[in-house]
Amino acid sequence: MKKKLLKFIYLLVVNLIISAIFGIGMSFNMQQWAFIVTLMLLVTLSGVYMAKFWETRQYKELQVMQERMLATVEGHEPRGVLTEPDSSYFKLIRQFNTLQNYIRQSQEKSQRDVTNYQSLLASLPVGVINVNRRHMIDVFNETAADLLGLQQPNTPILESLVIRQFTLSELITQTFNTRRNQQSILNLQINGEIKQYEVTTLFHQGDLTNSEVMIILYDLTSVLQVERMQSDFLANASHELKTPLTAITGFVETLQGSAGDDAATRKQFLQIVAEEAQRLSSLVVDILSLSRVQQKNDTMPTKLMIKNMIDEQWQHIQPAAAIKNVTFKNEVAEHISVQGTKNDVETILQNLLINAVKYNVNNGSINVTMYKDHQHWQINVKDSGIGIPKNQQSRIFERFYRGDESRQRQIASGTGLGLAIVNEIVSKHNGEVKVNSQVGVGTTISVTLPL
């Protein structure tokens, strides 16, 4: 305000001096002097007003530009300023508009990158955690939260508030200290269960004071379990194949010697060879059945009358049941039918009934029932056999598993693949198989399949 007043006084004084010089030369009287002074005052005011008008008009563009710039700094969408080509600030404003357009494009690209990064993190099958040198977490994807049994935290958050597994925290600290990438398989207790995770830590040095470690978690629990199952399968299959082959080879070599001349010995040994050959054949058939189950099945579902299928399978097993005098009761209604794959259902029924006979007691019983609703159907095979101990029930569907080997072999021989085959078929059809058993009372195997 003071500067504007000084400008006005300066302009007025200059005008008055010019008027005085002109008035002295023209010899004005008092009335003319009053008119001249008044005129100069009006001219000065008009000039100041016009100058103020143009200044305000020009300054308004700069003021709008300043407001748009501050809005951009505060995070609002970058906007340009309208101007005319004859404006004295035209070049400056045009450069400002170019800068605003560049900022807007950069923001859009950054937002796309952030969105893609977040989508990638959310869809990754591995857990990703990023920790800075102050042990603050700024990245923690949903998979990492699931693997560690947590709710996904809001970041940034202190590492110690989220990662409470000592071995994992030590691996992160070791990475910071050594400034080297680390890789290890850790056994972590998650919600009371031991899980095996492959943990990779990647060190990144920003500047002299800032560094970061990215942690990548991969759940190896199921992978290692499958590897153990495959290893056990190969070991057990080799053992099961070797045992009858050894017996067959040994007795054949014996028969080729002097023992073959004795009719009674020859008959006894040949019977053993036949039994071992049958055992070997059954094992090969079961292994092939298990392999066939794991392959894609393109067979179209057909209408199946379950009661008739149960009776057909029982006819094949009845001779073995007669030895133990096992009674059989098929309680499935004749009119009940389902849509399913005939070979798979027959295999399920065959293995369940064979097991019910094998592990039954003399003068025991077998009952088969069925339940059906709008979405599923369930078959239940109940026997009065030896039962399965609680600590073994979770493993009976593993390949070759037969619980207490010596106890089982005294009661029944077999390949140990029957329930494993059932479990594979049921899993293939998105079904479920359950066991309910008590030692000395009996066992009920329930298979539920979708309609």
Asked if 215 and 354 sit in the same domain, the reply is no
Predicted pLDDT of residue 328:
92
- Residue range 87-94: average pLDDT? 81
Confidence band of 408 (pLDDT split at 50, 70, 90):
very low
CA angle 310, 408, 387 (to 5 degrees): 60
Confidence band of 50 (pLDDT split at 50, 70, 90):
low
Check which CATH number belongs to the domain holding 265 and give it.
1.10.287.130
Q: Rounded to 10 degrees, what is the CA torsion of 33, 35, 36, 38?
A: 120
Asked if 157 and 246 sit in the same domain, the reply is no
Predicted pLDDT of residue 44:
65
Whole-number Å distance between alpha carbons of 355 and 444: 11
| Residue 316 pLDDT exceeds 70 | yes
Asked if 48 and 93 sit in the same domain, the reply is yes
Check which CATH number belongs to the domain holding 403 and give it.
3.30.565.10
Asked if 310 and 406 sit in the same domain, the reply is yes
Domain end marker among 295, 314, 342: 295
- Inside any domain, residue 119: no
- Inside any domain, residue 116: no
CA angle 247, 357, 409 (to 5 degrees): 35
Residue range of the domain that includes 253: 228-295
Q: Provide the token pair at 433.
A: 């198989």
Check which CATH number belongs to the domain holding 130 and give it.
3.30.450.20
What is the per-residue pLDDT across 429-449, written as a single tens digit (0 to 9) for each? 888 899 888 888 899 999 999
Asked if 393 and 283 sit in the same domain, the reply is no
CA-based nearest residue to 309, from 341, 287, 355, 356 = 341
- Inside any domain, residue 142: yes
| Residue 159 pLDDT exceeds 50 | yes
- Inside any domain, residue 115: no
Averaged pLDDT score across all residues of the chain: 80
Whole-number Å distance between alpha carbons of 346 and 306: 9
Confidence band of 29 (pLDDT split at 50, 70, 90):
low
Asked if 242 and 370 sit in the same domain, the reply is no
- β-bridge mates for residue 185, sequence order: 198
What is the per-residue pLDDT across 180-213, written as a single tens digit (0 to 9) for each? 999 998 888 888 888 889 999 999 887 667 889 9
Asked if 237 and 193 sit in the same domain, the reply is no
Domain end marker among 200, 219, 238: 219
- Inside any domain, residue 99: yes
What is the per-residue pLDDT across 410-435, written as a single tens digit (0 to 9) for each? 445 555 677 888 888 888 888 889 98
- Inside any domain, residue 118: no
Asked if 344 and 430 sit in the same domain, the reply is yes
- Inside any domain, residue 113: no
Asked if 334 and 429 sit in the same domain, the reply is yes
Residue 296: partners with Cβ closer than 8 Å, 6 or more residues away: none
Whole-number Å distance between alpha carbons of 2 and 48: 14
Whole-number Å distance between alpha carbons of 284 and 241: 8
- Inside any domain, residue 114: no
What is the per-residue pLDDT across 324-339, written as a single tens digit (0 to 9) for each? 899 999 998 888 888 8
| Residue 91 pLDDT exceeds 50 | yes
Residue found by looking up tokens 């058939």 in the block: 285
Domain total in the chain: 4
Q: Rounded to 10 degrees, what is the CA torsion of 122, 127, 132, 137?
A: 70
- β-bridge mates for residue 443, sequence order: 383, 437
Is the Cβ–Cβ distance between 11 and 48 less than 8 Å? yes
Asked if 446 and 392 sit in the same domain, the reply is yes
Asked if 241 and 313 sit in the same domain, the reply is no
DSSP 336-354: -EEEE-HHHHHHHHHHHHH
Asked if 237 and 321 sit in the same domain, the reply is no
Is the Cβ–Cβ distance between 124 and 141 less than 8 Å? yes
Domain end marker among 154, 185, 219: 219
The distance of Cα 373 from the centroid of its chain, to the nearest Å, equals 32
